[in-house]
Amino acid sequence: MTLQQAYKVIERLKNETTNTSEIKVYNNLLGILTKLKAREFSKDDIQSIETELNSLVLDLNPENRKNYFKKKLKEFKAYLKESHSLISEGYYTKIGITTGAAFGIITGIIIGERFEKSLGIALGIGIGMLIGAFVGRKKDAQAKAEGKVL
């Protein structure tokens, strides 16, 4: 399935539904396909992407389309990251905030032993998320400068 064919299938599915959460998934897929069409790829890369689109079976009509296409979107993003080093906007920021919050909880518990436990955890989470967001945004900017962001 070519990028254009996949785009048409997703566009048709988007027009057939009124479920807003399902439309969001379709819009996300359409955005990725649009950005892929605008990029320059070698013939091997294009063939690889088209093979992956075929394996996703986008023209199937499952019972729960939202969950099906949400899963396929996740698989396609993972494929693009793994095979072509392409990530979505804000990828590293999301990871940084999550990781920062996790380490912040641990740090907060350690700090909380000396002070009030809830205050230590709250400060740890807040500071951890702030540091994670800063590092993530820096890595996102670096990835964007390298042209690896969709």
DSSP string, 28-44: HHHHHHHHHHHS---HH
Structure confidence at residue 42 (pLDDT): 86
Average pLDDT over residues 26-48: 89
pLDDT at 18: 86
Q: Which among 144, 142, 128, 141 has a CA at the least distance from the CA of 96?
A: 128
Q: What's the pLDDT at 117?
A: 76
Alpha-carbon distance 90 to 136, whole Å?
8
Model confidence at 145: pLDDT above 90: yes
Residue-wise pLDDT for 51-67, tens only, equals: 888 888 777 777 888 88
Closest CA to 56 of 29, 37, 86, 31: 29
pLDDT score of 135: 96
pLDDT at residue 101, as a whole number:
93
pLDDT at 140: 94
For the chain, what is the radius of gyration of the CA atoms?
20
Fill in the DSSP letter of residue 63: S
For the chain, give every domain's residue range. Answer: 3-84, 91-145
d(CA 104, CA 132) in angstroms, rounded, equals: 10
Question: Which of 85, 19, 25 minimizes the C-alpha distance to 58?
Answer: 25
Return the amino acid letter for 1: M
* Per-residue pLDDT tens digits for 89-135: 899 999 999 999 999 999 888 887 777 778 888 888 999 999 999 99
